[in-house]
């Protein structure tokens, strides 16, 4: 890609333009608000001068309701060879395009999953899309060349492309973006009328839960309107679970013994299901969690023994990430498990063994804690 046009220099459009410009693409900027385009230009996102001929790809960074209109208009002017948009819903605009508004062969819908609390060209950032998912929703008539132009755009922005059908996309964003936004706002709304003392008790939890509710209400009304049916479906699911939670809480409050217990079980089930759902998205960018290697040491019941164990690790500059104690028998002896970085486990185990500790299994230098055959080492000096 040598040249591109960005139509609409808000946060997303200008961020795309900054990313493309940084990779050497010549970017032409336009916006219905000429000042927004000039600010984007001043930030180095491209030029406000019109291109002399069709660019390779035009990125339409306009609200969902305007995508088909702007596409038709810009295709009539031959602004580009291929077109994509960045709107957060895909079905409505694509139905309009498929219905004859604009040429579907040179258009592929797109949606980068990125945003920021601030809006406008000044808040734009060339790295906004790095590592983020970017959905592309080709129509049956969309040409391969157009899909490839959009894939190159996603790649130049450092994002991860995901090809999807537009309806599946809209259901997906209803559950992973639009409904969470609305739920955050509904929760935040309950804070509006509470006494000042109550607000002073607010900690990081409620700040995280409600953070996205800072977003622009008018912009989000447009987004929710454009995906109303799918959001309503997901929100009704939340509502059903919420009603069950209210019922369970009321019966905890009122009922005795058995009813209380089964109500508590219902709350635990709802929370457990929440943790399951959370587990599906908790790894950042899908990376695996950090793995530590356990070093197991037999311990007795002497005072200060665990502190001495930690002092041994400290003397080697080894960071102990976690410590647990497992009791094998009924006496007070047991096994202390020290979790350390894989590379340090071997050194720690050897030092402990040398210093007379009863270490169970010395991990190899590359051991990642997958627990193969165990070896019991009883060094001299310990029974």
Task: Tell me which residues in 175-194 interact with a copy of itself (CB under 8 A).
Answer: 175-177, 179-192, 194
Q: Which of 53, 258, 286, 287 binds a copy of itself (CB under 8 A)?
A: 286
Helix (H, G, I), strand (E, B) or coil at 15: helix
Q: How far is the CB of 144 from a copy of itself (least distance, A)?
A: 21
Which residue, 17 or 114, is less far from a copy of itself as judged by CB?
114
Give least dist CB 303 to a copy of itself, A: 7
- Shortest reach from residue 258's CB to a copy of itself, in Å: 15
Sign of CA dihedral 309, 377, 295, 338: negative
φ, ψ dihedrals at 359, nearest 5°: -90, 130
Q: How far apart are the first and last CA of the chain?
A: 72
Gap between the Cα atoms of 328 and 51, Å rounded: 76
| Residue 229: partners with Cβ closer than 8 Å, 6 or more residues away | none
CA 50-17-90 angle, 5° bins: 100
Residue 341 engages a copy of itself in binding (rule: CB under 8 A): no
Tell me if 330 contacts a copy of itself by CB under 8 A: no
Q: Smaller CB distance to a copy of itself: residue 122 or 375?
A: 122
Our measurement of the distance from residue 269's CA atom to the centroid of its chain's CA atoms, rounded to an integer in Å, reads 25
Rounded least distance, CB 314 to a copy of itself, Å: 11
Contacts (CB under 8 A) with a copy of itself, residues 27-46: 34-35, 38-39, 41-44
The residues in 45-74 that bind a copy of itself, with binding defined as CB under 8 A, are: 48-49
Structural element, H or E, at residue 299: strand 292-299
- The residue among 109 and 115 lying less far from a copy of itself, judged by its C-beta, is 115
Give the integer Cα–Cα distance in Å for 63 and 86.
9
Q: What is the nearest approach in angstroms of a copy of itself to the Cβ of residue 74?
A: 23
CB of 264 to a copy of itself, least distance (A): 5
Evaluate whether 56 touches 30 at the Cβ level (below 8 Å). no
Choosing from 22, 105, 147, 162, the residue that interacts with a copy of itself (CB under 8 A) is 162
With contacts defined by CB under 8 A, how many residues of the chain interact with a copy of itself? 117
272 makes contact with a copy of itself (CB under 8 A): yes
| Residues linked to residue 326 through DSSP beta bridges, in sequence order | 335
In the chain, DSSP finds a helix count (H) and a strand count (E) of: 14, 11
DSSP string covering 72-136: HHHHHTT-EEEEEE--S--HHHHHHHHTTSS-GGGEEEEEE----SS-SGGG--TTTTTT-EEEE
User: 144, 201, 328, 329: which one contacts a copy of itself (CB under 8 A)?
Assistant: 201
Closest by CA position to 337, among listed 379, 291, 372, 297: 297
If one asks whether residue 11 binds a copy of itself (CB under 8 A), the answer comes out as: no
Nearest distance from residue 224's CB to a copy of itself, in Å? 6
Nearer to a copy of itself, 325 or 366 (CB): 325
Tell which one of 89, 172, 344, 353 touches a copy of itself (CB under 8 A). Answer: 172
* CA atoms of 20 and 26, how far apart (whole Å): 8
Q: Where does this chain touch a copy of itself (CB under 8 A) — which range of 7-15, 275-283, 349-357, 372-380?
A: 275-283
Residue list 225-264, contact with a copy of itself (CB under 8 A): 225, 228-229, 231-232, 234-239, 241-243, 245-246, 249-250, 252-253, 260, 264
Per CB under 8 A, does 335 bind a copy of itself? no
């Amino acid at each position: 890609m040598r040249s591109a046009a960005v139509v609409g220099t808000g946060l997303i459009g200008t961020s795309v333009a900054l990313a493309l410009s940084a990779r050497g693409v010549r970017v032409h900027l336009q916006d219905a608000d000429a000042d927004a385009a000039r600010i984007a230009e001043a930030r180095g996102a491209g030029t406000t001068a019109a291109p002399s001929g069709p660019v390779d790809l035009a990125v339409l960074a306009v609200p969902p309701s305007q995508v088909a209109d702007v596409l038709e208009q810009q295709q009539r002017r031959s602004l580009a060879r291929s077109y994509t948009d960045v709107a957060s819903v895909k079905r409505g605009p694509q139905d309009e395009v498929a219905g004859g508004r604009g040429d579907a062969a040179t258009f592929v819908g797109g949606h980068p999953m990125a945003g920021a609390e601030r809006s406008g060209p000044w808040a734009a950032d060339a790295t906004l899309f790095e590592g983020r998912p970017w959905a592309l929703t080709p129509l049956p008539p969309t040409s391969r060349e157009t899909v490839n132009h959009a894939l190159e755009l996603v790649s130049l922005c450092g994002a991860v492309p995901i090809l999807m059908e537009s309806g599946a996309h809209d259901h997906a964003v209803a559950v992973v973006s639009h409904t969470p936004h609305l739920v955050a706002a509904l929760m935040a709304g309950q804070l509006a009328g509470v006494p000042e003392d109550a607000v002073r008790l607010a900690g990081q939890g409620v700040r995280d839960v409600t953070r996205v509710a800072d977003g622009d209400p008018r912009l989000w009304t447009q987004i929710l309107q454009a995906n109303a049916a799918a959001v309503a479906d997901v929100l009704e699911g939340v509502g059903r679970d919420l009603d069950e939670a209210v019922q369970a809480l009321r019966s905890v409050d009122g009922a005795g013994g058995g009813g209380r217990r089964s109500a508590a079980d219902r709350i635990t089930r709802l929370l457990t299901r929440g943790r399951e759902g959370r587990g599906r998205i908790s790894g950042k960018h899908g990376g695996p969690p950090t793995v530590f290697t356990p070093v197991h040491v037999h311990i007795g019941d002497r005072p200060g023994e665990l502190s001495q164990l930690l002092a041994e690790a400290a003397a080697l500059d080894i960071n102990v990430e976690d410590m647990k104690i497992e009791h094998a028998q009924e006496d007070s002896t047991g096994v202390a498990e020290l979790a350390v970085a894989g590379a340090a486990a071997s050194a720690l185990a050897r030092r402990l063994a040398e210093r007379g500790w009863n270490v169970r299994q010395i991990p190899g230098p590359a051991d990642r804690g997958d627990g193969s055959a165990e070896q019991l080492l009883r060094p001299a000096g310990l029974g």
